[in-house]
């Protein structure tokens, strides 16, 4: 494939949904207290700080290390992360942010907005299906499995290869998408990607970076994963919100 020279994948900053989900789990509530669509969930104030810190970190890099193409999930929290990153100098102010709906969050169908406790209480049959099938293959009614997400992401990578060969591309997206892109690019299997998922949550505003290896038939090689140093250097708190399991918002 005609890969970009650099592919940087960013998980959005902490969102209001992340905060509400934590509160719901602390109180053992069945549902997360949010009144808007998942697509409309904004960043929290801390999420804005994280995105700004990330932009400032990239602003201090040489120009040849900064992205020249910005792609984003159309979900509000991802777009706000991209806009804040760009406004903080992470890349040129005239670089457009291009939406790609295939980068959206995993869809949860009837489980959307439910906590793990809520799924067990409201849809015990789905809780059992998920236990039997595992998170990689379980597809709730009206929602997606990880495999479904991977299928749409394969076409995203084809588009990037077609239009952004040898360019520096940055993607703003969601936790499951970050992991599924690793699955595709690194040709991992189910066990390997779920082991990575178990090791640690993808931190808000962390970067996962691939660089094109030189030579004919070069491939993208992982150079950094789940890097949160930008926020730590800026004395901005790092948050590691869990994966969007059973309707949690990631």
Summarize pLDDT for 52-86 with one digit per residue, the tens. 999 999 999 999 999 999 999 999 999 999 999 99
CA distance 191 to 173: 23
- Assess whether pLDDT exceeds 60 at residue 175: yes
CA distance 76 to 69: 19
At 244, the pLDDT band (50, 70, 90 cuts) reads very low
CA distance 224 to 191: 21
Question: Average pLDDT in the 139-151 region?
Answer: 98
Let me know if 93 is exposed, middle or buried by CB neighbors in 10 A (0-12, 13-18, 19+). exposed
Residue 66 contacts residue 88 (beta carbons within 8 Å): no
Burial 113-148 (b: 16+ CB within 10 A, else e): bbbbbbbbebbeebbebbeeeebbebbbeebbbbee
Task: Report the percent of the chain where pLDDT is more than 90.
Answer: 77
- Assess whether pLDDT exceeds 90 at residue 109: yes
Residue 156 contacts residue 103 (beta carbons within 8 Å): yes
CA distance 50 to 70: 18
- Which residues fall within 8 angstroms of residue 194, CB to CB, at 6 or more apart? 134, 135, 136
Question: Average pLDDT in the 22-46 region?
Answer: 88
- This prediction's pTM: 0.91
Dihedral angle over CA of 123, 127, 129, 135, nearest 10: 130
Neighbours of 92 (CB within 10 A): 12
- Domains of the chain: residue spans and CATH: 6-247 (3.40.50.1240)
- Which residues fall within 8 angstroms of residue 29, CB to CB, at 6 or more apart? 23, 115, 117, 118
Classified as helix, coil or strand, 175 is helix
Q: Which of 36, 20, 49, 2 is nearest to 157 (CA)?
A: 2
pLDDT at 245: 43
At 241, the pLDDT band (50, 70, 90 cuts) reads low
- Assess whether pLDDT exceeds 60 at residue 230: no
Q: Taking the alpha carbons of 191, 194, 199, 202 in that order, is the dihedral positive or negative? A: positive
């Amino acid at each position: 494939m005609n890969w970009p020279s650099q592919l940087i994948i960013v998980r959005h900053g902490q969102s209001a949904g992340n905060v509400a989900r934590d509160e719901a789990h602390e109180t053992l509530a069945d549902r997360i207290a949010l009144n808007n669509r998942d697509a409309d969930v904004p960043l929290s104030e801390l999420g804005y700080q994280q995105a700004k810190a990330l932009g400032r970190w990239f602003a201090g890099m040489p120009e040849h290390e900064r992205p020249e193409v910005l792609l984003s999930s159309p979900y509000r929290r991802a777009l706000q992360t991209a806009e804040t990153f760009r406004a903080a100098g992470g890349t040129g102010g005239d670089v457009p942010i291009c939406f790609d709906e295939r980068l959206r969050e995993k869809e949860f169908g009837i489980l959307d907005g439910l906590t793990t406790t809520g799924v067990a209480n409201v849809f015990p049959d789905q809780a059992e299906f998920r236990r039997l099938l595992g998170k990689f293959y379980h597809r709730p009614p009206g929602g997606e499995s990880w495999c479904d997400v991977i299928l749409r992401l394969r076409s995203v990578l084809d588009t990037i290869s077609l239009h952004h060969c040898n360019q520096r591309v940055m993607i703003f997206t969601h936790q499951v998408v970050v992991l599924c892109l690793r699955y595709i690019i690194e040709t991992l299997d189910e066990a390997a990607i779920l082991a990575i998922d178990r090791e640690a949550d993808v931190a808000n505003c962390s970067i996962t970076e691939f660089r094109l290896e030189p030579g004919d038939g070069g491939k993208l090689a992982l150079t950094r994963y789940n890097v949160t140093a930008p926020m730590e250097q800026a004395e901005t708190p790092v948050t590691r919100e869990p994966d969007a399991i059973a309707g949690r918002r990631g």
